[in-house]
Homo-oligomer: A and B are copies of this chain.
Amino acid sequence: MVTIKDVARVAGVSIGTVSNVLNGKESVRLQNREKVYKAVDQLGFQYNMTASALRTKTTKNIGLIIPTIVNPFYPELARGVEDEARKAGFTVFLCNSDREEEKERNYIGALLSKGVDGIILLKPKSSQEELRRLNSQIALVVEDWDYRSDQELMTVSSDGYMAVIQAMNLLFQYKHRKIAFISGLMESPSGFGKMRAYEISLESRNISYRSEYVAYGDYSWKSGYAVAKEFVKLETVPTAILAANDMMAMGAMKAVQSMGYRVPADISVMGIDGIEMGKLCTPSLTTVLQPKYEVGVAAFRLLGRILAGEDIPEDKRHIMLETRIMERESVAYADEGRLI
């Protein structure tokens, strides 16, 4: 293995000088700088970050823990993290927790052992207690976490509550009043927030809440499919179905169609996320765009600032990104050509 020692020998300078050149320090005479580069080329020297990491205690690696890779939402978000990380010279370990607390914990331990400089944790399953402890030993940014419960934690989210408000407003605009809701898991702030927003929206229009119009899925399209079938079997069939994410919405759309109803002529279906795939179903899915990629970018930027030693003022510790309606084809007026 070629080390800076070899480079130093060949270049005829000290290893300190080589190290300085490699780290872009200004203090090296041009002449020596060139000698070093020449030797590097000549020897095919490969810089060893492991050694550097041991000495400097920084690996330029970060860990990114995502709940699942099955929902394209997370790869898109991960992409934002990765792109931004690369710009800053960081490499990312991508880990799937499968929404399991145990796996999440294991990965955190592994990442800590690997000496990552920071961790970005999406939709954490760990307890507040654990996260707080983790936060005290490593730079941490958490997504979809209720920052009001812990001001210390750095958080990034897109506004699930507002997303549902926007979605409901669109549905109201299209004259829907019988709106069913496929909620996600009641384990995250966004899960709760969306549910709450659904209730509030109904209230604001004086529409009474019907428990048979609410069901819970696990964010998979299959759960959306199963649950939507039940909605359609109801005595008073809803005229619109809103799902907490696009995957469930697409499942619901399939279910509605499989039961012989048309989307959106008979039943409108709407999702939340704005994944690319929503454009490919028929009809294409009307949804609320969550800035996934941007959440990833923001998460890394925040982490980067922590790593740079910046003290983030209280009011900058919690980033919330806006969502916006993305109207496509799956929502139509409630009273248009209805079979029901």
Contacts and interface: CB of A to CB of B under 8 A. Distances in A.
Interface stretch (A5-13, A87-95, A200-208): A87-95
A234 interface: no
A48 B76 CA distance: 32
Q: How many copies does the complex hold?
A: 2
Given A50-B54, A75-B75, A280-B250, A114 B61 contact: yes
B113 A96 contact: no
Nearest to A79: B69
Q: What is the size category of the interface that chain A forms with chain B?
A: 35 or more
A277 interface: yes
Contact of A92 (B78, B94, B115, B250): B94
Interface string A57-101: 101010000000110100110110010000000011111100000
Contacts of A47: 113
A206 to B, nearest CB: 35
Contacts of A50: 50, 53-54, 59, 114-115
Interface in A150-179: none
A51 interface: yes
A186 interface: no
A135 to B, nearest CB: 15
Contact of A51 (B1, B54, B70): B54
A254 B282 contact: yes
Contacts of A49: 113-115
A75 B114 CA distance: 23
Contacts of A78: 69, 94
Contacts of A69: 75-76, 78-79
Nearest to A285: B280
A59 B284 CA distance: 46
Contact of A46 (B59, B79, B112, B276): B112
A257 interface: yes
Contacts of A54: 48, 50-51, 54
Contacts of A70: 75, 276
A251 interface: yes
A110 interface: yes
A79 B114 CA distance: 20
A82 B110 contact: no
A317 to B, nearest CB: 26
A322 to B, nearest CB: 24
A231 interface: no
A145 interface: no
6 contacts: A49-B113, A50-B53, A69-B76, A75-B75, A280-B280, A281-B282
Interface of A: 1, 46-51, 53-54, 57, 59, 61, 69-70, 72, 75-76, 78-79, 82, 91-96, 110-115, 221, 250-251, 253-254, 257, 276-277, 279-282, 284
Given A91-B114, A92-B93, 11 more contacts: A46-B112, A48-B113, A50-B115, A61-B93, A69-B78, A69-B79, A70-B75, A82-B94, A92-B94, A94-B94, A280-B281
